[in-house]
Amino acid sequence: MFSVKLKEIRKEHGLTQIDLAKKLGVASGTVGNWESGKREPDYERISQIADLFNVSVDWLLGSTSREIQRIPVYGKVAAGIPIEAIENIEDYEEIDVSRMPKGQYIALMIRGNSMEPRMRDGDVVIVRLQDDCETGDTAVMLVNGGDATCKRIKKTPEGIFLISTNPAYDPMFFSNEQIADLPVRTLGKVVELRAKF
């Protein structure tokens, strides 16, 4: 069952076996052996894979079934100039909560082009609500108490950078004092992108 789940989640994330092997720091043929069922990784490696794809170990091992939940798509998330995060519910998305870490999820719509080419205007991001993120995470940040923007995070001892993937946009830096005074806070971590065509 692990072999089937691994192949399914890898393809959903658009990764080749070689891509996944590089991310996990294993030989390129190892992922192929896992997916063919010839070998199975140890628990520590399975846990690493679960973390990489934001799914539970139980789901990867096939001991939980799919549990679909409808979550609201709120307003727009600015991927250019920050705007109000929460407006009326515009739509609903379905997520398989059995594959995700426990928590509360919402969906938010991208507006603007600062996160291109990965995230485009109109795309929807699935966000796990949490009050902190780590360097390298893509997060939805609330600036000035209510304006939301989707950016990559880089923490420093002096403050935090909110970084666009579009090189036309300069990083935004907020000092520790600004983080407290404005305030700047984390709404949640982006765990999935749903591109709209």
CA–CA separation, 34 and 4 (whole Å) = 9
Catalytic residue check, 189: no
Q: Which of 5, 56, 76, 114 is catalytic?
A: 114
To the query of whether residue 151 is one of the catalytic residues in this protein, the response is: yes
Q: b/e string for 108-143 if b means 16 or more Cβ within 10 A?
A: bbbbbbbbbeebbbebbbbbbeeeebeeebbbbbbb
Where are the alpha helices (H) located in 43-175, listed in sequence order?
A: 43-53, 57-60
Contact 122, 196 (CB under 8 A): yes
Instruction: From the candidates 151, 155, 175, 196, give the one annotated as an active-site residue.
Output: 151
Q: Which of 40, 11, 8 is nearest to 26 (CA)?
A: 40
H or E element: which one contains 120? none
Rg of the chain taking only CA atoms, in angstroms: 18
* Residues involved in catalysis: 114, 151
